[in-house]
Amino acid sequence: MVETPSNGTAVEVTALVKRFGEFVAVNGISFQVRRGEIFGFLGPNGAGKSTTIRILCGLLRPTSGTALVSGIDVARNPEAVRKQLGYVSQRFSLYADLTVGENLDFFGGIYGVPRRLRAERKEQALRTMGLVDQAGTMTALLPGGWKQRLALACAILHQPPVLFLDEPTSGVDPIARREFWDLIHRLSAGGQTIFISSHHMDEVERCHRLALMHAGRIIALGAPNRLKRELYTQGLLLIESSDTLESMRAIENVPGVREAAVYGAGLHVTVDETAATAQRIGEALRGRGIEVRRIESILPSMEDLFVSLIEAQERRSA
């Protein structure tokens, strides 16, 4: 159902730069997205995620560099590229005064879905997104999370090989968010490439690969677990004890401890020389009469990784 170039690359970006006057929103990024992949774009607001997506959708002209979607140069041929992609913008709210079905009818029309296929595609989109019972509902009355699903349904009517979703889950509750990600995986399994941006550190772990973006640059790129293993240069210890706050004070001055933060019922402690420092922490705590229930090395969360990478970056540029 999907047409992509035979080499299996859905999106190819090379040395892409976008300037707005003096401000450099995208600063020379390069990456490739494979066909059928869920590719995450992670970064704080203003990192350049939306700008990149809008360039890829042909809404902005790059200052320099190239961007290919399905092998088509978006700057040279934005009209052709629009048939290859579906886009859900950050601000998109659909038409509140149309029903779910009418919104789909409209988008089916402007995406140029042939008349004979339109009813079938609409049914399919409703079914995929679990909106069958809502087809006649006025969009204004849909609960928050469902609007995102409708937006997604509208963007897949023409079965585009590549889907761009710009922060589709902002302002959506966690359960709806999880369901939304299930849908994305289903689409990906069907062969569609999904390019999704987010600033929720937890949800992007569900991407196949992701790019961490900061201040217009990609500072890390790869599969989530690989990134954590390879790029998190310090160790991370989880410590559970009889007195969490007292423990935090006790380990502050232990050599090798960089930072400690309360995390649920325990502590996350960033350390150098993981094994030796763990030993020293255990001794320090027991020396103060605190019962140590657990000290173990854990894989950092995406947030831990992201913060450490940005700090490293800033240390380097300082």
Partner 1 sequence: MTFRRTWATMRKEIKHIVRDPRSLVLALAQPFLMLLLFGYALSLDVDRIPTLIYDADGTSRSRDLTQRFLASRFFEIRGHVNSYDAIEREIDRGSVLIGLVVPQDYSRRVDAGTDAQVQILLDGSDANTATIALSYVSSLIQNYSLELRSEGRGSGTRPAPPIDARLRVWYNSTMESKNQVVPGLIAVIMMIIAVLLTSLTIAREWETGAMEQLLSTPLRPAEMVLGKMMAYLLVGVMDVAIAMAVGIFVFDVPFRGNLLLLAGASLIFLFGALCWGIFLSAATRSQVMAYQLGIVTSFMPSMVLSGFVWAIDNMPEVIQWITRIVPARYMVTILKVIFLKGVGLEALWVEFLCLLAFATLVFLGAAYKLRQKLG
C-alpha distances out from residue 281 to 157, 186, 253, 259, 266, Å: 57, 46, 10, 13, 14
Closest contact distance (angstroms) between CB of 61 and partner 1 is: 7
Q: List residues bridging with 241 in a β-sheet.
A: 292
**Tokens, residue 189:** 């399994």
The CA-based angle 316-26-52, given to 5 degrees, is: 135
| Chosen residue from 41, 87, 146, 180 binding partner 1 by CB under 8 A | 87
CA 180/CA 168 separation, integer angstroms: 9
> Which of 71, 101 has the CB closer to partner 1?
101
Amino acid at 132: V
Secondary structure element (H or E) that encloses residue 283, with its range:
helix 274-287
**Which residue's CB is nearer to partner 1, number 5 or number 101?**
101
Using rule CB under 8 A, residue 31 touches partner 1: no
119 binds partner 1 (CB under 8 A): no
Determine if 116 is a binding residue for partner 1 (CB under 8 A): no
Query: How far is residue 49's CA from residue 215's CA, in Å, rounded to a whole number?
Result: 10
Burial string for 197-217 (b: 16+ CB within 10 Å, else e) reads bbbbbebbbbbbbbbbbbbbb
* CA pair distance 180, 313, nearest whole angstrom: 33
Closer residue to partner 1 (CB): 61 or 286: 61
The distance from CA 66 to its chain's CA centroid, rounded to whole angstroms, is 22
- Choice between 31 and 106, CB closer to partner 1: 106
In whole angstroms, how close is the CB of 71 to partner 1 at the nearest point?
18
- CB of residue 163 to partner 1, shortest distance in Å: 11
Q: Which is nearer to partner 1, 48 or 266 (CB)?
A: 48
| Cβ count within 10 A of residue 112 | 10
When asked if residue 93 is in the footprint of partner 1 (CB under 8 A), the reply is: yes
The span of 93-101, 185-193, 217-225, 280-288 binding partner 1 (CB under 8 A) equals 93-101
Q: 216 φ, ψ to 5°? A: 85, 0
Which of 82, 122, 147, 149 binds partner 1 (CB under 8 A)? It is 82
For partner 1, which residue of 95, 101, 179, 246 counts as binding (CB under 8 A)? 95
Residues 7-26, one symbol each (x = binds partner 1 by CB under 8 A, - = not), give -------------x------
Which residue in the set 4, 12, 40, 107 belongs to the binding site for partner 1 (CB under 8 A)? 107
Binds partner 1 (CB under 8 A): choice among 40, 43, 48, 108: 108
Q: What does the binding site for partner 1 look like in residue numbers (CB under 8 A)?
A: 20, 54, 57-61, 79, 82-83, 85, 87-95, 97-98, 102, 105-112, 115
